[in-house]
Amino acid sequence: MQRLSSCKIGYPEEWESTVIKMQSKMKFLTPDEAKKIIEYLSITRAKNDDIVDEIEIMDNAMKKGEKLFNDISLGNNGKSCGSCHNDKQNSLRKKAFIYPKYFNKAKKLVNLEQRINYCIMNFMEGEALKLGSDEIIILTMYLYSLL
């Protein structure tokens, strides 16, 4: 039988033994068909691995966002987001999902990033974060994780 390890794309070793078992027991796959299936599964697996990577990246971003949420360096009055938005006080649970939203104080529709900047400028004596910056991204990621 042709060694499956001649496939160009990597695949886990256990698959090779699975396919060998399938072949010896059922005999309905030619080595070539088995190879094609393995290749196909490897591609699918590669995609799944990418998703796992993405989840890890997002998870890390949320954790970094949580740290920044509790960091007083975003403002100049010794307050962090967490000083006002802990669980008991003005909780931000599920709030991220209601944006964009009409904001009375600004008399316009604002997105979550702009709403965060409003708090930084008005409640923390800080400077607005640049939209699209790492800081604003990880903060919004963290707010989306508050369910």
CA–CA separation, 66 and 23 (whole Å): 51
Report in angstroms the alpha-carbon separations of 26 from 5, 16, 18, 45: 21, 15, 12, 24
Q: How many helices (H) and strands (E) does the chain have?
A: 5, 2
83, 86, 111, 114: which one binds ligand HEC (CB under 6 A): 83
| Beta strands 101-103 and 108-110, pairing class | antiparallel
138 interacts with ligand HEC by CB under 6 A = no
Count of residues binding ligand HEC (CB under 6 A)?
A: 16
121 interacts with ligand HEC by CB under 6 A = no
If the CB atoms of residues 4 and 80 are measured against ligand HEC, the closer one turns out to be: 80
19 interacts with ligand HEC by CB under 6 A = no
Site string for ligand HEC, 25-64 (x = CB under 6 A): ----------------------------------------
90 interacts with ligand HEC by CB under 6 A = yes
Q: What is the distance between the terminal CA atoms of the chain, rounded to a whole angstrom?
A: 53
If the CB atoms of residues 38 and 85 are measured against ligand HEC, the closer one turns out to be: 85
Q: 98 - beta bridge partners?
A: none
